[in-house]
Amino acid sequence: MAIILQYRKNILKTAVVLIVFAVAGAALVGITFTQTEDNIAYNEKLTLLRKLNNIIPADAYNNNLLLDTISIKPNRLLGTKENSLAYRARKDDQDIAIVLSSIAPNGYNGPIHMLVGIYDDGRLAGVRVIKHRETPGLGDVVSISHSNWILGFNNKSLGNPDSTRWKVKRDGGDFDQFTGATITPRAVVKAIHDTLLYFQQNQTMLFIQPETVLNKPEKPQ
């Protein structure tokens, strides 16, 4: 009987030790996940901010670009089918520019996702392709990592060139196409022009001050 009781005690001790290690391990995994999740989120924000600052230089504004946002409903001119965030740049509460998400739905191999920055006077601050599936060596030239073609849109507007010239040169417009690839640049040119139209039609709404800015608390004396 004594041997059986001792055996049971040993089993109980082993079970307790295993439970303690399991709880400690789970807690450690949870803490590690939380810390890693925070780091991932922080790095994602830094990456996004770098992309935005490639379009709107950091010294052009002094608000928090990642917080001064507005949710945009799906829109035909933007090519979006889901809500998207627009980022507003301001300096001393003066509107400077906005960065909109835009999609060219008819790229050669599928949708081409872009960030389109527009100054408050309607000029393009810059455009960056952030996601695409275009053919390497041909359509992927729309990406800044492969060529400077996308920089050709800087400072363009609805009136520069006029609407009849917002096409690739093969179609009688002002913008270069690529050797062996016209569909991709044609899609991008049209999407950017449509984004400018959207901005023109919605500028007042796009720059509405967020509630957190309108009702921000006074600084303590």
> Where in the sequence is the domain holding 8, given as residue range(s)?
1-55
In one-letter notation, the amino acid at residue 212 is T
* Residue in 205, 207, 170 with CA at minimum distance from that of residue 189: 170
Percent of the chain with pLDDT over 90: 57
| Domain annotation covers residue 171 | yes
The better pLDDT of the pair 7, 194 is held by 194
Give yes or no for residue 57 having a pLDDT over 70.
Answer: yes
| Domain annotation covers residue 221 | no
Q: What is the pLDDT of residues 61-119, one digit of tens each?
A: 999 999 999 999 999 999 999 999 999 999 998 999 999 999 999 988 899 999 999 99
| Domain annotation covers residue 218 | no
Rounded CA separation 62/121 (Å) = 18
| Domain annotation covers residue 134 | yes
- Split at pLDDT 50, 70, 90, the class of 25 is low
In one-letter notation, the amino acid at residue 39 is N
Rounded CA separation 53/55 (Å) = 5
Q: What is the pLDDT of residues 141-183, one digit of tens each?
A: 788 888 899 999 999 999 999 989 999 999 999 999 887 788 8
Q: Specify the DSSP class assigned to residue 44.
A: H
24 & 131 share domain: no
pTM: 0.77
| Domain annotation covers residue 219 | no
117 & 143 share domain: yes
Beta bridge mates, 97 = 89, 119
The better pLDDT of the pair 56, 179 is held by 56
Percent of the chain with pLDDT over 70: 75
Looking at the structure of the chain, the number of domains it has is 2
